[in-house]
Amino acid sequence: MNEQKATVLIVDDNIDTVELLRKRLRAEGYNTIEAYDGEEALMKIHDSYPDIIILDVMMPKMDGYEVCERLKREEKTKFIPVIMLTAKSDVESRVKGLDIGADDYVPKPFDYRELSARIRSLLMRKETAERAIEEEKTESVRKLIDSLSHEIRNPIVSIAGFAKKVYDNLPSGDPNKPYLMTIVQEAERLERLLRDILNLKMIAIGYLENVEPKKVIEEVLEEFEREMEEREISLETDFHETPNFYIDREHLKIVLRNIIKNAIEAMAKAEQKILKVSVQKVEDAVEIKISDSGRGIPKELIKRIFDPFFTSKIYGPGLGLTVALTIVQYYRGFISIESEPGKGSTFIIRLPLRGR
């Protein structure tokens, strides 16, 4: 956990204690965040979701017991380990802290070596629990999707194959040929949906790697080079100096492919066809913008385009944008949209440099 620079939130109204812990913890390689009362602590916890919290009990505005109790009631924060730090060393105070969900209890004055060991122990326990949950979740999802994809693919292949064979054997002008072609096209659509489902499976089994955003974007744009030439789409890029960050390379490619594909489709009937792609560092995140000069999205539909199988005159049914959003949210990022009917849309992807 230390190798990934775990973040420790120090909460204490004693400035000297905070400064001491900040210096010691940073010397050990941790990132630190500081808060000086209970209310400030809750704000910083919800802003940054630290890996562990060192929480003083006696503080102004809101004491440590109430802060801990609130954290343990919330789904998003209840698994963050909390070490309660206090001058009270009596059994009753310690029991109260543990009863409301504190993971450990260290009385003041404390030996820093002991506190450091307790931090390492709790982080290791948290990492082990998270890994076990992820592995169990991954295995369940993998089995489900493998089973579904197998059961679905076989009949799709049979339907498409036999329909195409009958189509080819019918004479030109036969009134049944259009119906058979519709069957073939619908089977192909089902195959594309199945690929999207398999992409969802990849989210569960991906792994972090050091990725250069500019290079991955260029690789994906190359995949669309021929299609953009055929559709007479101009490409404009604006790549700023952007640091590498940790993400599964294929996950990032899936996000880019799906959004670029939709941008190309949105420009099918546009008079001027321009695809703009940019990347830059914004605060502690990589920001990728993908803009098209297509029909744009009405305000009332913007929130719905990420719904599974949502259909509009701009985007056909599918899981592409749903998959893209799911991946971005998996890495604690977000996608926002700026759009104006008749002028086009811009998808803004923000992914934190720290990753998950």
What's the token pair of residue 239? 């790549």
- Count of C-beta atoms within a 10 Å radius of residue 106: 18
Verdict on whether the full-model pTM lies above 0.85: no
Q: What is the pLDDT of residue 355?
A: 53
Q: Evaluate whether 93 touches 48 at the Cβ level (below 8 Å).
A: no
Final residue belonging to a domain, choices 175, 204, 233? 204
pLDDT of residue 3: 43
In a domain, 242, yes or no: yes
Q: Please indicate whether residue 312 or residue 193 has the higher confidence score (pLDDT).
A: 193
CA–CA dist 80, 58 (Å, integer): 20
Same domain, yes or no: 162 and 262? no
Residues 54 and 39 in one domain: yes
My answer on whether 216 and 348 are in the same domain is yes
CB atoms inside a 10 Å sphere around CB 194:
17
Q: What pLDDT score was predicted for residue 90?
A: 66
Using DSSP's 3-state secondary structure scheme, residue 233 falls into: coil
Residue 223: what pLDDT? 94
Domain-ending residue, one of 204, 230, 262: 204
CA dihedral 289, 290, 293, 297 (to 10 degrees): -90
Same structural domain, 311 and 234: yes
Average pLDDT over residues 91-119: 84
What's the pLDDT at 196?
A: 66
Question: Do 151 and 164 fall within a single domain?
Answer: yes
Residue 70: which domain range? 2-110
Contact 231, 256 (CB under 8 A): no
Window from 4-18, 32-46, 138-152, 254-268 with minimum mean pLDDT: 138-152
347 DSSP assignment = E
How many other CB atoms are there within 10 angstroms of residue 93's CB atom? 17
pLDDT digits (tens, 9 = 90+) for 8-64: 999 999 999 999 999 999 999 999 999 999 999 999 998 888 999 999 988 888 888
Please tell me the predicted confidence (pLDDT) of residue 225: 94
- The whole-number pLDDT of residue 212 equals 93
Contacts of 32 (CB under 8 A, 6+ apart): 7, 8, 9, 10, 21, 22, 25, 26
Whether residue 252 sits in one domain with residue 296: yes
Same domain for 141 and 11: no
What is the pLDDT, as a whole number, of residue 204? 58
Note whether residue 126 is domain-resident: no
Domains identified in the chain, total number: 3
Q: What is the average pLDDT across 146-169?
A: 83
Phi, psi of 249 (to 5 degrees): -55, -45
Indicate whether 123 belongs to any domain.
no
User: Which run of H or E residues covers position 22?
Assistant: helix 15-27
Least confident of 3-7, 281-285, 319-323, 333-337: 3-7
Instruction: Indicate whether 139 pLDDT > 60.
Output: yes
pLDDT at 313: 46
Report pLDDT for 1: 39
**pLDDT-derived band at 2, boundaries 50, 70, 90:** very low
- Using a pLDDT cut of 90, give the percent of the chain over it: 45
The answer on 255 and 188 residing in a single domain is no
CATH code of residue 153? 1.10.287
Same domain, yes or no: 198 and 215: no
User: Is residue 294 in a domain?
Assistant: yes
Which pLDDT score is estimated for 314?
47
pLDDT band at 94 (very low <50, low <70, confident <90, very high): confident
The least confident of 72-76, 94-98, 239-243 is 94-98
- pLDDT at residue 142, rounded to an integer: 67
Q: Could you please report the per-residue DSSP string of 78-113?
A: TTS-EEEEES--SHHHHHHHHHTT-SEEEESS--HH
Q: Which residues pair with 290 in a beta bridge?
A: 277, 347
Q: How many CB atoms lie within 10 A of CB 75?
A: 6
Q: Identify the residue with better confidence: 139 or 253.
A: 253
Last residue of a domain, one of 204, 235, 253: 204
Say which CATH number the domain at 263 has: 3.30.565.10
147 falls within a domain: yes
Q: Is residue 329 part of a domain?
A: yes
In a domain, 52, yes or no: yes
| Within a domain: 115 | no
Asked whether 235 and 194 are in contact (CB, 8 A), the reply is no
pLDDT-derived band of residue 141, with 50, 70 and 90 as boundaries?
low
What span, in angstroms and rounded, lies between the C-alpha atoms of 273 and 264? 9
How sure is the predictor about 194, in pLDDT bands with cuts at 50, 70 and 90? confident
Do 96 and 150 fall within a single domain?
no
- If phi > 0 it is left, if psi is from -120 to 50 it is alpha, else beta; for residue 61 that is left
Instruction: Specify the CATH number for the domain of residue 57.
Output: 3.40.50.2300
pLDDT of residue 200: 62
User: Residue 207 pLDDT > 80, yes or no?
Assistant: no
Asked whether residue 220 falls in the same domain as residue 345, the answer is: yes
Residues 145 and 56 in one domain: no
